[in-house]
Amino acid sequence: MENVLRPLIVLGGSVVLTLLIGWVTDRVLRKADERRTETPLWGLLRRARVPYQLVLCAALLRGSYHQADLLREHQVAVGRALTLVLIGSTAWLIVRIAAAVVDTSYTRYARAHRDPARVRRVRTQVSLITRVVAAVVGVVAVAAMLLTFPAMRAAGASLLASAGVLGIVAGVAAQSTLSNMFAGFQIAFGDMVRLGDTVVVDGEWGTVDEITLTFLSVRTWDERRITMPVSYFTSKPFENWSRGGAQMTGIVFWHLDHTAPMEAMREKLRDLLRECPAWDGRSCDLSVTDATPSTMEVRALVTAKDADDVWKVRVHIREGMIRWLTEHHPYALPRVNTADATLPPGTEPARRPRRTHEIPRPQPRS
Protein backbone atom coordinates (compact mmCIF):
# COMPACT_ATOMS: atom_id res chain seq x y z
CA MET A 1 0.00 0.00 0.00
CA GLU A 2 2.86 2.33 0.82
CA ASN A 3 4.37 1.71 -2.61
CA VAL A 4 1.18 3.05 -4.17
CA LEU A 5 0.50 5.97 -1.82
CA ARG A 6 3.99 7.39 -1.91
CA PRO A 7 4.06 8.06 -5.69
CA LEU A 8 0.54 9.49 -5.51
CA ILE A 9 1.52 11.77 -2.64
CA VAL A 10 4.66 12.93 -4.47
CA LEU A 11 2.81 13.53 -7.74
CA GLY A 12 -0.30 15.04 -6.17
CA GLY A 13 1.67 17.22 -3.78
CA SER A 14 3.79 18.60 -6.62
CA VAL A 15 0.72 19.38 -8.72
CA VAL A 16 -1.18 20.98 -5.84
CA LEU A 17 1.83 23.05 -4.78
CA THR A 18 2.35 24.13 -8.39
CA LEU A 19 -1.27 25.23 -8.74
CA LEU A 20 -1.16 27.06 -5.41
CA ILE A 21 2.04 28.96 -6.23
CA GLY A 22 0.76 29.73 -9.73
CA TRP A 23 -2.54 31.06 -8.35
CA VAL A 24 -0.78 33.28 -5.81
CA THR A 25 1.61 34.61 -8.45
CA ASP A 26 -1.28 35.32 -10.83
CA ARG A 27 -3.16 37.21 -8.12
CA VAL A 28 -0.10 39.31 -7.36
CA LEU A 29 0.39 40.14 -11.04
CA ARG A 30 -3.30 41.01 -11.42
CA LYS A 31 -3.16 43.40 -8.45
CA ALA A 32 -0.02 45.00 -9.82
CA ASP A 33 -1.68 45.38 -13.23
CA GLU A 34 -4.71 47.09 -11.69
CA ARG A 35 -2.56 49.49 -9.69
CA ARG A 36 -0.02 50.28 -12.41
CA THR A 37 -2.26 50.95 -15.38
CA GLU A 38 0.36 53.12 -17.09
CA THR A 39 2.44 50.05 -18.00
CA PRO A 40 1.20 46.78 -19.56
CA LEU A 41 4.13 44.77 -18.18
CA TRP A 42 2.22 42.98 -15.43
CA GLY A 43 -0.65 42.08 -17.71
CA LEU A 44 1.79 40.71 -20.30
CA LEU A 45 3.63 38.68 -17.66
CA ARG A 46 0.36 36.94 -16.79
CA ARG A 47 0.49 35.33 -20.24
CA ALA A 48 3.54 33.38 -19.07
CA ARG A 49 1.65 31.54 -16.30
CA VAL A 50 1.47 28.27 -18.27
CA PRO A 51 5.25 27.88 -18.81
CA TYR A 52 5.76 29.21 -15.27
CA GLN A 53 3.62 26.43 -13.83
CA LEU A 54 5.35 23.86 -16.02
CA VAL A 55 8.72 24.99 -14.68
CA LEU A 56 7.46 24.74 -11.09
CA CYS A 57 5.90 21.32 -11.57
CA ALA A 58 8.92 19.90 -13.43
CA ALA A 59 11.32 21.28 -10.80
CA LEU A 60 9.28 19.85 -7.90
CA LEU A 61 8.96 16.45 -9.52
CA ARG A 62 12.63 16.47 -10.53
CA GLY A 63 13.61 17.03 -6.91
CA SER A 64 11.24 14.48 -5.35
CA TYR A 65 10.61 11.72 -7.91
CA HIS A 66 13.37 9.50 -6.48
CA GLN A 67 11.35 9.12 -3.27
CA ALA A 68 8.61 7.24 -5.16
CA ASP A 69 9.57 3.56 -4.87
CA LEU A 70 7.16 2.64 -7.66
CA LEU A 71 9.38 4.36 -10.20
CA ARG A 72 12.66 3.02 -8.84
CA GLU A 73 13.24 0.82 -11.89
CA HIS A 74 12.74 3.76 -14.26
CA GLN A 75 14.37 6.54 -12.28
CA VAL A 76 16.95 7.29 -14.97
CA ALA A 77 14.37 7.58 -17.76
CA VAL A 78 11.94 9.58 -15.58
CA GLY A 79 14.68 11.91 -14.42
CA ARG A 80 15.83 12.51 -17.98
CA ALA A 81 12.27 13.16 -19.16
CA LEU A 82 11.67 15.63 -16.32
CA THR A 83 14.96 17.36 -17.16
CA LEU A 84 13.91 17.74 -20.78
CA VAL A 85 10.54 19.15 -19.73
CA LEU A 86 12.26 21.53 -17.30
CA ILE A 87 14.66 22.81 -19.98
CA GLY A 88 11.91 23.25 -22.56
CA SER A 89 9.51 25.02 -20.19
CA THR A 90 12.32 27.27 -18.93
CA ALA A 91 13.13 28.32 -22.50
CA TRP A 92 9.43 28.96 -23.12
CA LEU A 93 9.21 31.07 -19.95
CA ILE A 94 12.30 33.10 -20.91
CA VAL A 95 10.85 33.84 -24.37
CA ARG A 96 7.53 34.97 -22.85
CA ILE A 97 9.24 37.22 -20.30
CA ALA A 98 11.51 38.74 -22.95
CA ALA A 99 8.53 39.36 -25.22
CA ALA A 100 6.65 41.05 -22.36
CA VAL A 101 9.59 43.33 -21.57
CA VAL A 102 10.13 44.24 -25.24
CA ASP A 103 6.41 44.91 -25.84
CA THR A 104 6.28 47.10 -22.74
CA SER A 105 9.25 49.14 -23.93
CA TYR A 106 7.63 49.59 -27.34
CA THR A 107 4.32 50.66 -25.80
CA ARG A 108 6.02 53.29 -23.67
CA TYR A 109 7.95 54.58 -26.67
CA ALA A 110 4.78 54.74 -28.81
CA ARG A 111 2.98 56.73 -26.11
CA ALA A 112 5.86 59.17 -25.67
CA HIS A 113 6.46 59.84 -29.38
CA ARG A 114 3.85 61.04 -31.82
CA ASP A 115 5.93 60.61 -34.97
CA PRO A 116 4.44 57.65 -36.89
CA ALA A 117 7.68 57.03 -38.79
CA ARG A 118 9.72 56.59 -35.60
CA VAL A 119 7.05 54.39 -34.04
CA ARG A 120 7.02 52.10 -37.09
CA ARG A 121 10.81 51.93 -37.06
CA VAL A 122 10.87 50.90 -33.39
CA ARG A 123 8.10 48.36 -33.98
CA THR A 124 10.15 46.80 -36.79
CA GLN A 125 13.23 46.59 -34.59
CA VAL A 126 11.22 45.19 -31.68
CA SER A 127 9.68 42.44 -33.76
CA LEU A 128 13.07 41.37 -35.11
CA ILE A 129 14.66 41.48 -31.66
CA THR A 130 11.90 39.25 -30.31
CA ARG A 131 12.45 36.75 -33.12
CA VAL A 132 16.20 36.74 -32.55
CA VAL A 133 15.80 36.18 -28.81
CA ALA A 134 13.37 33.32 -29.43
CA ALA A 135 15.73 31.73 -31.96
CA VAL A 136 18.77 32.00 -29.66
CA VAL A 137 16.90 30.65 -26.64
CA GLY A 138 15.50 27.80 -28.74
CA VAL A 139 18.94 26.83 -30.02
CA VAL A 140 20.42 26.91 -26.51
CA ALA A 141 17.51 24.85 -25.16
CA VAL A 142 17.87 22.21 -27.86
CA ALA A 143 21.63 22.04 -27.24
CA ALA A 144 21.04 21.64 -23.50
CA MET A 145 18.52 18.87 -24.14
CA LEU A 146 20.95 17.01 -26.39
CA LEU A 147 23.73 17.28 -23.80
CA THR A 148 21.58 15.39 -21.27
CA PHE A 149 22.21 12.21 -23.25
CA PRO A 150 25.58 10.53 -22.53
CA ALA A 151 26.11 9.64 -26.17
CA MET A 152 25.94 13.27 -27.14
CA ARG A 153 28.44 14.26 -24.44
CA ALA A 154 30.84 11.60 -25.66
CA ALA A 155 30.58 12.87 -29.18
CA GLY A 156 31.22 16.44 -28.10
CA ALA A 157 34.96 16.26 -28.64
CA SER A 158 34.62 14.99 -32.20
CA LEU A 159 31.94 17.57 -32.94
CA LEU A 160 34.18 20.36 -31.72
CA ALA A 161 37.08 19.01 -33.77
CA SER A 162 35.01 19.09 -36.95
CA ALA A 163 33.24 22.35 -36.12
CA GLY A 164 35.46 24.37 -38.44
CA VAL A 165 34.81 22.17 -41.47
CA LEU A 166 31.10 21.98 -40.72
CA GLY A 167 30.97 25.76 -40.34
CA ILE A 168 32.51 26.26 -43.78
CA VAL A 169 30.17 23.73 -45.39
CA ALA A 170 27.13 25.21 -43.63
CA GLY A 171 28.15 28.72 -44.63
CA VAL A 172 28.44 27.76 -48.29
CA ALA A 173 25.18 25.80 -48.24
CA ALA A 174 23.23 28.53 -46.42
CA GLN A 175 24.77 31.50 -48.18
CA SER A 176 21.42 32.91 -49.33
CA THR A 177 19.86 32.35 -45.90
CA LEU A 178 22.73 34.11 -44.12
CA SER A 179 22.62 37.01 -46.57
CA ASN A 180 18.89 37.39 -45.93
CA MET A 181 19.48 37.35 -42.17
CA PHE A 182 22.10 40.08 -42.37
CA ALA A 183 19.83 42.01 -44.74
CA GLY A 184 17.05 41.71 -42.16
CA PHE A 185 19.26 43.31 -39.52
CA GLN A 186 20.28 46.01 -41.99
CA ILE A 187 16.64 46.80 -42.76
CA ALA A 188 15.64 46.86 -39.09
CA PHE A 189 18.42 49.05 -37.79
CA GLY A 190 19.20 50.96 -40.99
CA ASP A 191 15.65 52.35 -41.12
CA MET A 192 15.20 51.40 -44.78
CA VAL A 193 11.77 49.77 -44.55
CA ARG A 194 9.39 49.72 -41.59
CA LEU A 195 6.16 47.98 -40.77
CA GLY A 196 3.29 49.98 -42.20
CA ASP A 197 5.38 51.73 -44.89
CA THR A 198 3.78 52.20 -48.30
CA VAL A 199 6.13 50.80 -50.97
CA VAL A 200 6.14 50.10 -54.70
CA VAL A 201 7.98 46.87 -55.56
CA ASP A 202 8.13 45.52 -59.13
CA GLY A 203 5.26 47.79 -60.10
CA GLU A 204 3.05 46.59 -57.22
CA TRP A 205 1.78 49.16 -54.71
CA GLY A 206 1.18 47.97 -51.14
CA THR A 207 1.91 48.22 -47.42
CA VAL A 208 4.66 46.38 -45.54
CA ASP A 209 2.74 43.82 -43.49
CA GLU A 210 5.47 41.62 -41.97
CA ILE A 211 9.26 41.67 -41.65
CA THR A 212 11.27 38.65 -40.52
CA LEU A 213 14.95 37.76 -40.63
CA THR A 214 14.57 36.09 -44.02
CA PHE A 215 11.54 37.48 -45.87
CA LEU A 216 9.31 40.54 -46.12
CA SER A 217 5.58 40.53 -46.89
CA VAL A 218 3.81 43.35 -48.75
CA ARG A 219 -0.01 43.59 -48.61
CA THR A 220 -1.34 45.06 -51.85
CA TRP A 221 -4.44 47.24 -52.21
CA ASP A 222 -6.49 44.23 -53.38
CA GLU A 223 -5.46 42.25 -50.23
CA ARG A 224 -2.88 40.05 -51.95
CA ARG A 225 0.38 39.20 -50.17
CA ILE A 226 3.71 39.54 -51.97
CA THR A 227 6.48 37.67 -50.12
CA MET A 228 10.02 38.64 -51.07
CA PRO A 229 13.46 37.93 -49.58
CA VAL A 230 14.74 40.82 -47.52
CA SER A 231 17.96 40.84 -49.54
CA TYR A 232 15.90 42.26 -52.44
CA PHE A 233 15.46 45.54 -50.57
CA THR A 234 19.20 45.89 -49.98
CA SER A 235 20.28 45.09 -53.53
CA LYS A 236 17.59 46.63 -55.79
CA PRO A 237 15.91 50.04 -55.93
CA PHE A 238 12.33 50.40 -54.71
CA GLU A 239 9.93 53.22 -53.85
CA ASN A 240 9.15 53.96 -50.20
CA TRP A 241 6.35 56.51 -50.05
CA SER A 242 6.47 56.71 -46.25
CA ARG A 243 10.17 57.56 -46.03
CA GLY A 244 10.69 60.96 -44.41
CA GLY A 245 6.98 61.47 -43.75
CA ALA A 246 3.66 60.10 -44.91
CA GLN A 247 2.41 63.29 -46.66
CA MET A 248 2.12 62.92 -50.42
CA THR A 249 1.29 64.89 -53.56
CA GLY A 250 -1.00 63.31 -56.13
CA ILE A 251 -1.25 63.99 -59.87
CA VAL A 252 -4.34 63.79 -62.09
CA PHE A 253 -4.18 64.23 -65.88
CA TRP A 254 -6.90 65.10 -68.37
CA HIS A 255 -6.61 65.30 -72.17
CA LEU A 256 -9.03 68.01 -73.27
CA ASP A 257 -9.87 70.16 -76.23
CA HIS A 258 -8.06 73.45 -76.70
CA THR A 259 -11.26 75.33 -75.87
CA ALA A 260 -11.46 73.95 -72.29
CA PRO A 261 -12.26 76.74 -69.76
CA MET A 262 -9.18 76.74 -67.56
CA GLU A 263 -10.28 79.40 -65.06
CA ALA A 264 -13.63 77.69 -64.54
CA MET A 265 -11.82 74.37 -64.09
CA ARG A 266 -9.59 75.88 -61.40
CA GLU A 267 -12.63 77.09 -59.50
CA LYS A 268 -14.29 73.69 -59.88
CA LEU A 269 -11.15 71.98 -58.63
CA ARG A 270 -11.24 74.03 -55.43
CA ASP A 271 -14.94 73.23 -54.98
CA LEU A 272 -14.30 69.49 -55.43
CA LEU A 273 -11.43 69.54 -52.93
CA ARG A 274 -13.54 71.32 -50.33
CA GLU A 275 -16.06 68.50 -50.62
CA CYS A 276 -13.39 65.79 -50.25
CA PRO A 277 -12.49 65.00 -46.58
CA ALA A 278 -9.29 63.21 -47.64
CA TRP A 279 -7.68 66.47 -48.87
CA ASP A 280 -5.40 67.92 -46.21
CA GLY A 281 -5.71 71.53 -47.47
CA ARG A 282 -1.99 72.08 -48.02
CA SER A 283 -1.89 72.72 -51.74
CA CYS A 284 -3.69 72.40 -55.07
CA ASP A 285 -2.90 73.54 -58.59
CA LEU A 286 -4.21 73.18 -62.15
CA SER A 287 -2.13 73.94 -65.22
CA VAL A 288 -1.61 72.98 -68.86
CA THR A 289 1.52 70.86 -69.13
CA ASP A 290 1.48 69.81 -72.79
CA ALA A 291 -0.37 70.34 -76.09
CA THR A 292 -0.84 68.38 -79.29
CA PRO A 293 -2.53 69.39 -82.57
CA SER A 294 -5.83 67.89 -81.33
CA THR A 295 -5.76 68.07 -77.50
CA MET A 296 -3.97 69.64 -74.56
CA GLU A 297 -2.79 67.95 -71.36
CA VAL A 298 -4.16 69.43 -68.13
CA ARG A 299 -2.53 68.45 -64.83
CA ALA A 300 -3.93 68.83 -61.32
CA LEU A 301 -1.71 68.64 -58.21
CA VAL A 302 -3.34 67.75 -54.89
CA THR A 303 -1.99 66.86 -51.46
CA ALA A 304 -3.04 64.44 -48.72
CA LYS A 305 -1.73 63.11 -45.41
CA ASP A 306 -0.81 59.63 -46.72
CA ALA A 307 -0.92 57.36 -49.75
CA ASP A 308 -4.43 56.05 -49.07
CA ASP A 309 -5.90 59.55 -48.84
CA VAL A 310 -4.10 60.84 -51.92
CA TRP A 311 -5.61 57.96 -53.90
CA LYS A 312 -9.09 58.92 -52.68
CA VAL A 313 -8.52 62.58 -53.60
CA ARG A 314 -7.32 61.70 -57.10
CA VAL A 315 -10.30 59.44 -57.77
CA HIS A 316 -12.72 62.05 -56.42
CA ILE A 317 -11.52 65.00 -58.49
CA ARG A 318 -11.03 62.93 -61.66
CA GLU A 319 -14.61 61.68 -61.56
CA GLY A 320 -16.08 65.02 -60.47
CA MET A 321 -14.26 67.05 -63.10
CA ILE A 322 -15.25 64.74 -65.96
CA ARG A 323 -18.89 64.79 -64.83
CA TRP A 324 -18.85 68.61 -64.60
CA LEU A 325 -17.28 69.01 -68.02
CA THR A 326 -19.79 66.60 -69.57
CA GLU A 327 -22.76 68.47 -68.11
CA HIS A 328 -21.66 72.10 -68.49
CA HIS A 329 -18.80 72.21 -71.01
CA PRO A 330 -19.10 69.28 -73.41
CA TYR A 331 -17.11 71.12 -76.04
CA ALA A 332 -14.02 70.81 -73.78
CA LEU A 333 -13.92 67.03 -74.06
CA PRO A 334 -11.61 65.55 -76.70
CA ARG A 335 -13.33 64.57 -79.91
CA VAL A 336 -12.65 63.35 -83.40
CA ASN A 337 -13.84 65.92 -85.93
CA THR A 338 -15.88 63.71 -88.22
CA ALA A 339 -19.11 65.68 -87.69
CA ASP A 340 -20.23 69.15 -86.74
CA ALA A 341 -18.71 69.99 -83.36
CA THR A 342 -20.45 71.60 -80.39
CA LEU A 343 -19.26 75.19 -80.26
CA PRO A 344 -18.74 77.28 -77.10
CA PRO A 345 -21.72 79.39 -76.02
CA GLY A 346 -21.96 82.77 -77.78
CA THR A 347 -19.96 81.60 -80.78
CA GLU A 348 -21.61 81.76 -84.23
CA PRO A 349 -20.74 79.08 -86.75
CA ALA A 350 -18.43 80.33 -89.45
CA ARG A 351 -19.75 80.33 -92.99
CA ARG A 352 -17.84 78.15 -95.38
CA PRO A 353 -16.64 80.26 -98.32
CA ARG A 354 -17.65 79.11 -101.74
CA ARG A 355 -14.83 77.91 -103.86
CA THR A 356 -14.57 79.47 -107.30
CA HIS A 357 -13.39 76.29 -108.95
CA GLU A 358 -16.31 74.23 -107.76
CA ILE A 359 -18.43 72.81 -110.58
CA PRO A 360 -22.16 73.51 -110.04
CA ARG A 361 -24.24 70.46 -109.51
CA PRO A 362 -26.70 69.68 -112.33
CA GLN A 363 -30.36 70.46 -111.61
CA PRO A 364 -32.76 67.59 -111.68
CA ARG A 365 -35.02 67.44 -114.70
CA SER A 366 -38.66 68.29 -114.16
Question: What would the pLDDT profile of 29-77 be if each residue is shown by its tens digit?
Answer: 788 777 777 677 777 777 788 888 888 888 877 777 666 554 566 667 7
Mean pLDDT of the chain: 76
Is residue 161 scored above 60 in pLDDT?
Answer: no
Expressed in angstroms, the distance from the first to the final Cα of the chain is 139
Q: For residues 81-90, b (16+ Cβ closer than 10 Å) or e, as one string?
A: bbebbbbbbb
Give the separation between CA 20 and CA 25, rounded to whole angstroms: 9
Mean pLDDT of 193-200: 82
Torsion, Cα 98 103 105 108, to 10 degrees, reads: -160
Give the separation between CA 6 and CA 9, rounded to whole angstroms: 5
Q: Kindly indicate the confidence band of residue 170, based on its pLDDT and cuts at 50, 70 and 90.
A: very low
Instruction: Tell me if residue 309 falls in helix, strand or coil.
Output: helix
Q: pLDDT tens across 351-363, in order?
A: 655 554 444 555 5
Domain boundaries, the chain: 2-112, 248-332
Mean pLDDT of 82-95: 86
* Domain at 248-332: CATH code: 3.30.70.100
pLDDT of the residue at 176: 53
pLDDT > 90 in the chain, percent:
12
Cβ count near 94 (within 10 Å): 19
pTM attached to this predicted model: 0.47
